[in-house]
């Protein structure tokens, strides 16, 4: 896939990107050792973290240095999205 198409898919959402990667490449399979359950759980709960971990493993073979920073930021983004939605729901009720 051309680079611009991949970026467009990422902007549409990490879950769409993960489905496209699972259908058209072995990118997630290489990162998670062919496991199915872990990427599925990541797709449901931590999609940005799952994508950044797959990128780190496929680019360097380990999560260290700059890749570790990207994974930590992705975790914070995933948790912030979930926590922000819950806080917003609580503020509407009160």
Average pLDDT over residues 14-27: 88
Average pLDDT, the chain: 81
- Under 8 Å between Cβ of 62 and 56: yes
The domain in which residue 14 lies consists of 3-93
As for how many domains the chain has, the answer is: 1
If one counts every other C-beta atom within 10 angstroms of the C-beta of residue 6, the result is: 13
Whether this prediction's pTM lies above 0.75 is answered by no
pLDDT recorded at residue 79: 85
pLDDT recorded at residue 34: 77
Average pLDDT over residues 50-78: 89
Q: Which of 5-9, 39-43, 83-87, 90-94 has the lowest mean pLDDT?
A: 83-87
């Amino acid at each position: 896939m051309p680079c611009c198409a991949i970026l467009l898919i990422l902007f549409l959402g990490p879950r769409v990107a993960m489905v496209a990667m699972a259908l058209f490449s072995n990118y997630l399979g290489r990162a998670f050792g062919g496991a199915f359950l872990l990427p599925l759980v990541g797709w449901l709960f931590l999609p940005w973290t799952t994508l950044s971990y797959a990128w780190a493993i496929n680019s360097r073979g380990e999560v260290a240095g700059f890749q570790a920073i990207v994974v930590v930021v992705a975790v914070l983004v995933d948790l912030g999205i979930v926590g922000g939605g819950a806080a917003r729901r609580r503020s509407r009720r009160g």
